[in-house]
A and B are shown apart, each in its own frame.
Chain A
Amino acid sequence: DSGVTQTPKHLITATGQRVTLRCSPRSGDLSVYWYQQSLDQGLQFLIQYYNGEERAKGNILERFSAQQFPDLHSELNLSSLELGDSALYFCASSVEGGTGKETQYFGPGTRLLVL
């Protein structure tokens, strides 16, 4: 158990809908990262937050957005869902207080299925 929690574990929804994925980082970690894992694209970085502020953006669609709250938990919002958004979404966290050498610890993921 990495100490990173994600809810829900599974999510089934329809095209066009909007969903919210939640992540709680390890105690003491200030950074949260979101990744998408799909069969065709592999594991792709979406976005990073550090202590409430956006720090880096990867291959995140405009239909997707995220935020990190004062208690450091993070939410990933996916809207206007398409079939191709079906994937496993991971959250990771790190201390992020130093030089970027810190290990990222991953949560168990949320499996999203868009029908």
Chain B
Amino acid sequence: AQSVAQPEDQVNVAEGNPLTVKCTYSVSGNPYLFWYVQYPNRGLQFLLKYITGDNLVKGSYGFEAEFNKSQTSFHLKKPSALVSDSALYFCAVRDSDSGAGSYQLTFGKGTKLSVIP
């Protein structure tokens, strides 16, 4: 079984400060990890993913995420937050051992990021 946890319902950060949105996962095989962002009344937009290789993944809009296998974490980061980054962020996982043909994602509950001017 695969699961993902986002321990913070809300994160507040001042504009210009670095931001971190936390995500931990549980899988039986190797994880495929994804971050999505949802703006109000919009669909989910893909930010970045980790499949294999370099533990630091760079994505859209200046976001990056660090894969840490020992801590089973995949935290989303940005060096300098913008007010326009305020949105709902979802971490998702897919287990590489989930079986042929079954590629469903399991999502966390989401973290609301508020960037304060």
Contacts and interface: CB of A to CB of B under 8 A. Distances in A.
Interface residues of A, number: 27
B107 A103 contact: no
A71 B72 CA distance: 40
B9 to A, nearest CB: 11
Interface in B63-117: 90, 94, 96, 98, 101-110
Given A55-B101, A55-B102, A100-B32, A107 B107 contact: no
Nearest to B32: A101
B42 A45 contact: no
A43 B101 contact: no
Interface residues of B, number: 24
Contacts of B43: 2, 4, 90, 106-109
Contacts of B108: 42
Nearest to A111: B41
Nearest to A41: B109
Main secondary structure of the interface of B (DSSP, over half): loop
A48 B44 contact: no
Contacts of A55: 101-103
Interface in A75-94: 90, 92, 94
Contacts of A115: none
Interface of A: 2, 4, 31, 33, 42-45, 48, 50, 55-56, 58, 90, 92, 94, 96, 100-109
